[in-house]
Structure 1
Amino acid sequence: MNTPSLLLVLHDVAPQTWPDYQAFVEAVDALGTVPMTWLVVPNFHKHNDLDAYPEFRRLLSRRVARGDELVLHGYYHCDEGPIPTTPRDWFMRRIYTHEGEFYDLPLDAALTRLRAGIEVFHRYNWPLEGFVAPAWLMSEGTRQALRQLPLRYTSDSQHLIRLPDFTAIDAPGLVWSARSAWRRGLSKIVSDQREQRWRQAPVIRLGLHPVDMRHEFSRQYWLQTLKRLLDEGRVPMTKAGWLKLQRAPVGRAA
């Protein structure tokens, strides 16, 4: 496939975060047919169990019928591991993120959560091909677990990764840190530079988070960037849809 593509990805999708996303999703829908990939958390922070939100589940089912993709995004999206004991672990789990749920999980624990998440998707008849770990952080135990499960891909911040052999395919992504004004300003500068660098890339991912939607500056950046990339001729696709068009040998072990 030679036509350049665009993947619009909504992270941390849950009943709690839907009010953040709703106006943006409606604005995207108004542009026409723009498939989106929704990274769904089955029980966000342990108080958003999808079983208790039938209307939100119906919304997600309607999105699937519309052509969007739902992806398993952790199970709780919170880090309950033991207190970090090394400088690297402290940085990754207390500075980089507090939500690296799969960062330190052993095989058995990772399998249990992944199987529970897969069961949620099966229960509601949602097709499932991908898993994305919160903050893209995966332990070796998680990688071992993914090799045992019927999932087709995972991803990190710059690749889609075929399972079970962990073949990485370049899929550069823009993502913001929007928690403060200076972070939003810096994110804009970095994203503009990366977008220029990736003008010839076969695909560009836009990785949105709920906090981005709470600030007019970042929300408008994402909407305008989406419009511009569409105007430049990029074809919007879901992650799974784009991955199916890539030749299997392309890539490298992640």
Structure 2
Amino acid sequence: MAEHYVRQPRSVMLVLHDVAPQTWEDYRPFVEAVDALGDIPITWLVVPDFHKHDRVDAAPAFQRLMHSRLARGDELVLHGYFHCDDSPAPRTPQAFFMRRIYTWEGEFYTLDQRQALQRLEAGIEVFRHNDWPLHGFVAPAWLMSEGTRQALRQLPLDYTSDAQHLYRLPDFHAIDAPGIVWSARSAVRRGLSKIISDHREAHLHNAATIRLGLHPVDMRHEFSRRYWLQTLTRLLENGREPVTKFTWLQHQPLIRSAA
């Protein structure tokens, strides 16, 4: 017998990257503005020890903040462990491009299975110690080695993601979840990001969901901060339902393998 699924309303996910005690002050004004719009759940990508000098477990005020956000219906996601690339220096042109030009923060890009599993388990323990529910992992810059993928298959997590998909674990079944993200470190980059993002939003008009992927640097410039708030408001006014990543995933049909 064929299975029938109720079509879900179009949605929008507001996702804050690189969340740590030191980046909360960047996000605070924006989050307060979002809260003023109404009941809008946020997905927070939490780094346990940002750049090796900002430990979540040494920041009780931040821990209380995260508990308060969970009580509002938000989701916390494990986002790397250190969020910095501390592997040996790149030795090939491709590795140099990915690890020094594309990003300096691809923490899980080169790790073997043992190394990845060690860091993932350490991150999971931080969440467990703080009594934070955990369903997802997002690698910094969305870069994952094969060893990382192997490690994720061994852990009690529901999903991971890259820039355009969510992946159910442990089988890495891909589900389209397109996103918009900025490069905001210079005025030129911010201007180009605005043009590209406006075009992408128009292209995604009929998409089932749109992920808005924000970073702390976006919050340090009025131009980019205003863009994100206006875009979120516009998508909500156009009928999109705000959801967390895990809430959205729970409403996606399971694809069963053939017997």
TM range (shorter): over 0.9
Q: Deviations over 1:210-240 (max 9, x none)?
A: 0000000000000000000000000000000
1:101 maps to which of 97, 107, 124:
107
Alignment pair present for 1:146 and 2:149: no
In structure 1, what is the equivalent of residue 4 of structure 2? none
SS for the counterpart of 1:15 is coil
Q: Which amino acid aligns with 1:204?
A: I
RMSD between aligned alpha carbons?
A: 1.0
> For this pair of structures, how many residues does the alignment match?
251
SS in 1 for 2:211: strand
Extract unaligned runs of 5+ from structure 1.
none
Question: What pairs up with 1:19-38 in 2 under 5 angstroms?
Answer: 19-38=25-44
What's the secondary structure of 1:169's corresponding residue? strand
2:180 touches 2:210 (CA, 8 Å); kept in 1?
Answer: yes
Deviations 1:150-185 (A, max 9, x none): 000000000011000001100000000000000000
1:196 pairs, out of 185, 188, 202, with 202
1:79 paired to 2:85: yes
Give the 3-state SS of the residue equivalent to 1:30 in structure 2. helix
Q: Which runs of 4+ in 1 moved over 2 A?
A: none
Deviation at 1:2, TM superposition (A): 2.9
**SS in structure 1 of the partner of residue 210 of structure 2:** strand
Please report how far the alpha carbon of residue 63 of structure 1 lies from its aligned counterpart in structure 2 after TM superposition.
0.3
TM-score (norm: length of structure 1): 0.98
Q: Residue in 1 aligned with 2:182? A: 176
Alpha-carbon shift at residue 99 of structure 1 (Å): 0.4
Of 150, 162, 166, which residue of structure 1 is paired with 2:168?
162
Q: Does structure 1 residue 6 correspond to structure 2 residue 12?
A: yes
TM-score by length of 2: 0.96
Could you say which residue in structure 1 is the equivalent of 2:48? 42
Structure 1: how far apart are the matches of 2:233 and 2:172?
A: 32
* Alignment check: 8 A CA contact 2:8 2:251 kept: no
Task: Give 5+ residue unaligned stretches, structure 2.
Answer: 1-6
C-alpha distance in 1, partners of 2:92/2:254? Answer: 38
- Paired residue type of 1:64: L
Superposition pairs of residues 99-248 of structure 1, within 5 angstroms:
99-248=105-254
- CA distance, structure 1, for counterparts of residue 50 and residue 166 of structure 2: 24
Asked if structure 1 preserves the Cα contact closer than 8 Å seen for 2:49 and 2:55, the reply is yes
> Is 1:62 matched up with 2:68?
yes
* Aligned-partner Cα distance in 1 for 2:237–2:99: 39
Q: Can you list the C-alpha shifts for 1:16-39, whole angstroms capped at 9, x where unaligned?
A: 100000000000000000000000
